[in-house]
């Protein structure tokens, strides 16, 4: 891995909670500050999704071989498909000096907590299971079977997200504008502290 850059930002939450919506907005507003970690997945692309932009779409055998070669920071199986963050995906963003944003599930979060990446962990909470289901259905990207699997998984994810200390912040995505402004505020506070810390480190080095 390349040398440590700014702390990555991890967005986690049930399928349909609004992670992609929030991160797209962040990337659009601050293209010079944030970069997206492009995950690998064995699921089929949705209409409009591009290989190498939204995901690296791959086969199970290729993904398994890449895992064997030690190319991934974390991997998970979600709704019958494999997903994973490669070391290269994170390095590619870090090399630009931008803050790397990861959109990953709770299995990935558990693994990434055991790395030296020290990510800022954000859980995106839907207002209720009913609203989550309505939003997922309205997105119209999943088969009925896949939708049911995702909703069943959401119960476990909400339990994990609700446990104190699993995340640095839980953002309620009821009104999108409010959720986005909460996310921006959290990032501003935490990246400011980091900048102040590194400035103070620099000063201490000079003084010594």
Ligand X SMILES: Nc1nc2c(ncn2[C@@H]2O[C@H](COP(=O)(O)O)[C@@H](O)[C@H]2O)c(=O)[nH]1
Residue of 161, 162, 135 whose CA lies nearest to 147: 135
Closest CB to ligand ATP among 77 and 175? 175
Residue 139 annotated as catalytic = yes
Closest CB to ligand X among 172 and 194? 172
Residue 175 CB, shortest distance to ligand ATP, in Å, is: 6
**Largest separation between any pair of C-alpha atoms in the chain:** 64
Binding-site partner at residue 133 among ligand ATP, ligand X, none, CB < 5 to 8 Å by type: none
Residue 184 annotated as catalytic = no
Residue 187 CB, shortest distance to ligand X, in Å, is: 18
Residue 43 CB, shortest distance to ligand X, in Å, is: 5
Question: Can you give the binding site for ligand X, defined by CB under 6 A?
Answer: 15, 19, 39, 43, 74, 76, 78, 83-85, 103-105, 107-108
Residue 200 CB, shortest distance to ligand X, in Å, is: 34
Beta strand segments in 39-149, E: 40-41, 56-57, 72-78, 81-86, 99-103, 120-125
User: 149 exposed, middle or buried (CB, 10 Å; 0-12, 13-18, 19+)?
Assistant: middle
Binding-site partner at residue 43 among ligand X, ligand ATP, none, CB < 5 to 8 Å by type: ligand X
Binding-site partner at residue 84 among ligand X, ligand ATP, none, CB < 5 to 8 Å by type: ligand X
Using alpha carbons, list the distances in angstroms from residue 149 to 129, 137, 143, 146.
13, 13, 10, 5
Matching residue, tokens 């079977």: 145
Question: Can you give the binding site for ligand ATP, defined by CB under 6 A?
Answer: 13, 15-21, 135, 138-139, 173, 175-176, 179
Closest CB to ligand X among 101 and 187? 101
Residues 51 and 91: their CA atoms lie apart, in Å, by 19
Residue 150 annotated as catalytic = yes
Residue of 6, 69, 64, 23 whose CA lies nearest to 40: 64
């Amino acid at each position: 891995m390349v040398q440590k850059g700014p702390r990555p930002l991890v967005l986690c939450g049930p399928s349909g909670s609004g992670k992609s919506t929030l991160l797209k907005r962040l990337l659009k507003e601050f293209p010079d500050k944030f970069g997206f970690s492009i995950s690998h997945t064995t699921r089929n692309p949705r209409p409009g999704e591009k290989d190498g932009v939204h995901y690296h779409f791959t086969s199970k055998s290729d993904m398994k071989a890449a895992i064997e070669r030690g190319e991934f920071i974390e991997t998970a199986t979600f709704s019958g498909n494999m997903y994973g963050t490669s070391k290269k995906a994170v390095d590619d963003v870090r090399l630009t000096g931008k803050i790397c944003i990861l959109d990953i599930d709770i299995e990935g979060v558990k693994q990434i907590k055991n790395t030296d990446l020290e990510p800022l962990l954000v859980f995106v909470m839907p207002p209720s299971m009913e609203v989550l289901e309505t939003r997922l259905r309205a997105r119209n990207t999943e088969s009925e079977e896949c939708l049911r699997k995702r909703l069943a998984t959401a119960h476990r994810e909400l339990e994990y997200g609700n446990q104190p200390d699993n995340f640095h912040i839980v953002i309620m995505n009821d009104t999108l504008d409010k959720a986005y402004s909460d996310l921006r505020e959290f990032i501003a506070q935490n990246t400011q502290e980091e900048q102040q810390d590194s400035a103070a480190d620099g000063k201490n080095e000079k003084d010594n």
